Structure 1
Amino acid sequence: MDSAWFAAISAVGVSLITAFGAWLRARTNVRTAARLIYSELTRNSTAVAYFRQTGHWVAPPLSRSAWDSHGAVLARRRKSAPFETVHGGYEALELAPFLADGALAPAAQDQWLSGEADRLVAAIREIDAIARMGDERVERWTRRLEAGGPGVAGGAPPLALRNPGLISLALLDRLTETAVLPLLYEGPGVTLTAEGVQPISETAQVVARHVVFDARSGTEKEGLTPVRWTGMGPIGDAAADETYDALVTASRFMDEAYGVSLPSAGGTLTAIVHFGEDSAIGGWDGHSMVIGDGDGTIFNRYSVCLDVIAGQAYWSLSELGRFQGYFGEQGALTISVRDVLGLLTKQYAARQPAEEADWLVGEGLLGPTITGVALRSMKEPGTAYDDETLGKDPQVHHMDDYVRTGRDNGGIHTNSGIPNHAFYRLATALGGYAWGRAGRIWWLAITSDDLPENPGFADFARVAVRVAAIRYGDDGEEHRAVREAWHAVGVPTE
């Protein structure tokens, strides 16, 4: 063979071999990069999975070093979709700690987290198409990110550690692994007894902060089935989901607005839904919230009213211990304190300033046959309803109209309109968020050591004026507004 031909063929062969080697190395480099990114994505995803399943964000700062080092390998590929999808997964990881810190209302938080978890799942699947880690392994990782987590599907959520601090991702990996969960968890960890909330056993490892039990239209309060507790997503039962969200919102409000733990440290706040047959009940029994479904005609289910649920839940606070009166003027003030705190929670959840709020207590509770808008109105006491069945709203807003009666425990729901209206006048005079200056003055008065046991209107008014002067300055705007609010309803402050 001619030497020139031989040299040419040899050169072509060497070029082909070199090109093939380069192609093989590039393919290997892409897969190696994909596997490193896959490992980082899945490990980080355990933090999101653990939060969705327990309600606790305990992970250290999430890593993105593999992406920063090897993401360019995906960016150079002809198709841009894999790069964009995986990049979306890392964006979801950046958002997750912010979504977990309680900045959003519970419903919005669940919706956002669900969407970001979906983006993370898509990213894991996309990178696996290149990394080829195996379908079974990918399914195992992505199942953890599904709403409710593996524990819900199996009847129990995963382990929620006590006072966890920061937990390594390796441990979160183990705790969110389906096979480990049944060995570690005993449901919400509490039960209801005649003595109140009790640990389910000496070996129970979890005490959930919020638990909803189902009475199934019965009136027994012991041995009930827990249906939703800390870390679980919505279960599709409107009463249970609304009540759970209200308990969580009440806890968040108390913590953010006044630095108060609800429930108290190590405690559990519980509620019983579907209590009684068509029962128009919504109150605190000394241990738990007890909530009926209403008859659907005169009253709707009580769980539709965040302010009612929150206002009742606050009776679990030791800070309200002075308000034990439930008759006459003392009882009316007790009702008013509950109404005020409940409405502040409602306005807080809606991020609604005082001037935009409706100031209605129990809005949505009256059934379709009733002519009315709510149980009570702080803005205009006596105007909440006017109906043939219920009669006219009897509330009054001034001491000149104070009702002395033996009915309704001495007119407690009638005369509570007086302190209710005083708070409304204070909040709208100061403006802005009512749980700010106005709410803080009320809370400082509620918790003041100067307030006597079972206080009356004038007792509370004097203390409110005093704490406003101490907190905001003598004869300042807040001090004057409190005095004027009480004077407007005929209650002396001297």
Structure 2
Amino acid sequence: MSEQHDNRDGFIPQYLLEKLAERGNEDAKRTLAQSKDIEKHNEELKKNSESRQLIENIGGQGQRFIYDSENTEQFKRKLVRKEGDSPVQDEIVNVAYDHCGKTLEYLKTKLGHNSIDNQGMDVVCNVHFGKNYANAFWTMNQLSVGDGDNRTFINLSRSIDVVSHEIAHGVTEYVNELKYQFQSGALNEHFSDVVGSAVQQFVKGQTAKMADWLIGDEVVGPDWPGKALRSMKEPGTAHELDDQPAHMRDFKKLPIKIDRGGVHINSGIPNKAFYLTAMEIGTDQAAFLWINAWKNKSIIHPQATFAEAFTAIQEAAEQLVQQGKLPQQATAVVKHAFQEVGVLA
């Protein structure tokens, strides 16, 4: 497994931060500068095998380890709560611990997937990462979450959606290694949105029809020009700068330098297809279908396209229907959903 699949851009897409910075948003400028420093630091750590062994998290019994970065950019700086420990005084530590636990519970009980690698890997989460750092990211088998700037973005640890989304990047890394660029990268982002939304609905006791299907609505602050980062229900409507397409006719062919070829932008298309599927068969069953499809490495290879993802999902639906694990209409529902978004002519 290579490191190229790390979600280096973070939960808040770099291209959006750049657009905000162009508008004169000082918080976005600062987060962009911090992100460049962090990426440089991470690249150096990866090259140093001793440092890598020290911080990388492999194996375990599906336990949680919450570290306090103490507003530095250090991984595993200070262990503040581990599996089974009582709550601590720092509310952010407790919230992150709970969110990691709910994500693991959902993966296991609803999706039949044992932690991140399906082998019970421990979950390492670094909170208070960076100084007023307005982002969260997955790298080197661990999650790092900033406190936000309290203007454009508020503390990212408080959102189950953020924590689950980033952990799901780890799942993709182990399941099919979708390369983080172009259509495969958009599928990578899409799957994290699927898991983030599904876990959030699970925790809130919502059905597909009750949910608002917004991504990042809990972390946008008063200076954010909209209601969320993305909408799975209506891609392109979450904020003033939202250019997510909901149909292949509006697919954006972008160079690699812009959002890695549109990983956060074009993910609106499969997101809409998932939303349409979930509305018919339920979010948990749709997510269960998706993760089963994601494990079909012969079709969903590292550079898979939207069309290939549909093929894998359709095949998984047929098998799961035959096994009595999904309702009879699942295959027709999936076909219709992907026709609606133009992936299937």
Q: 1:356 aligns with which of 202, 207, 210?
A: 210
Q: Of the two structures, which has the highest relative contact order with CA contacts closer than 8 Å and spacing of 6 or more?
A: 2
Could you give the per-residue CA deviations for residues 422-449 of structure 1, whole angstroms, max 9, x where no partner exists?
000011122xx4112x222212111124
Whether 1:442 and 2:290 are equivalent positions in the alignment is yes
Q: Is the 8 A contact 2:273 2:338 kept in 1?
A: yes
Change (3 A) 1:486 1:323: farther
Whether 1:459 and 2:308 are equivalent positions in the alignment is yes
Q: Following the alignment from structure 1 to structure 2, what is the Cα–Cα distance between the partners of residues 400 and 481?
A: 21
Offset of 1:316 from its aligned partner? 3.1
**Same amino acid, percent of matched pairs:** 29
Change (3 A) 1:318 1:295: closer
Map 1:302-321 onto structure 2 (within 5 A): 302-317=156-171, 320-321=174-175
The structure that is helix-richer by fraction is: 1
Q: Could you tell me which residue of structure 1 aligns to residue 263 of structure 2?
A: 412
The structure with the largest alpha-carbon Rg is 1
- Unaligned 5+ segments in structure 1 are 1-191, 200-205, 387-391
Q: Following the alignment from structure 1 to structure 2, what is the Cα–Cα distance between the partners of residues 318 and 336?
A: 11
Q: Following the alignment from structure 1 to structure 2, what is the Cα–Cα distance between the partners of residues 408 and 374?
A: 18
Whether 1:347 and 2:186 are equivalent positions in the alignment is no
Q: 2:144 aligns with which of 290, 298, 305?
A: 290
Offset of 1:292 from its aligned partner? 0.5
Q: Could you tell me which residue of structure 2 aligns to residue 395 of structure 1?
A: 244
Offset of 1:460 from its aligned partner? 0.5
Q: Is the 8 A contact 2:299 2:308 kept in 1?
A: yes
Aligned letter for 2:340?
Answer: A
Q: Is the 8 A contact 1:469 1:475 kept in 2?
A: no
The TM-score normalised by the length of structure 2 is 0.78
Q: Following the alignment from structure 2 to structure 1, what is the Cα–Cα distance between the partners of residues 327 and 180?
A: 34
Give the CA RMSD over aligned residues: 2.4
- Unaligned 5+ segments in structure 2 are 1-49
Query: What is the aligned length?
Result: 287
Whether 1:483 and 2:335 are equivalent positions in the alignment is yes
Q: Is the 8 A contact 1:319 1:446 kept in 2?
A: no
Offset of 1:367 from its aligned partner? 1.0
Q: Could you tell me which residue of structure 1 aligns to residue 80 of structure 2?
A: 227
Could you give the per-residue CA deviations for residues 26-76 of structure 1, whole angstroms, max 9, x where no partner exists?
xxxxxxxxxxxxxxxxxxxxxxxxxxxxxxxxxxxxxxxxxxxxxxxxxxx
Q: Could you tell me which residue of structure 2 aligns to residue 271 of structure 1?
A: 125
Map 1:25-104 onto structure 2 (within 5 A): none
Whether 1:372 and 2:261 are equivalent positions in the alignment is no
Change (3 A) 1:381 1:198: closer
Q: Following the alignment from structure 1 to structure 2, what is the Cα–Cα distance between the partners of residues 380 and 405?
A: 21
Q: Following the alignment from structure 2 to structure 1, what is the Cα–Cα distance between the partners of residues 63 and 327?
A: 42
Could you give the per-residue CA deviations for residues 108-143 of structure 1, whole angstroms, max 9, x where no partner exists?
xxxxxxxxxxxxxxxxxxxxxxxxxxxxxxxxxxxx
Q: Could you tell me which residue of structure 2 aligns to residue 167 of structure 1?
A: none
Whether 1:331 and 2:189 are equivalent positions in the alignment is no
> Which has the higher mean CA deviation after the structures are superposed, 213-222 or 480-489?
213-222
Q: Could you tell me which residue of structure 2 aligns to residue 239 of structure 1?
A: 92
Change (3 A) 1:475 1:462: farther
Change (3 A) 1:418 1:350: same
Offset of 1:463 from its aligned partner? 1.3
Offset of 1:370 from its aligned partner? 1.8
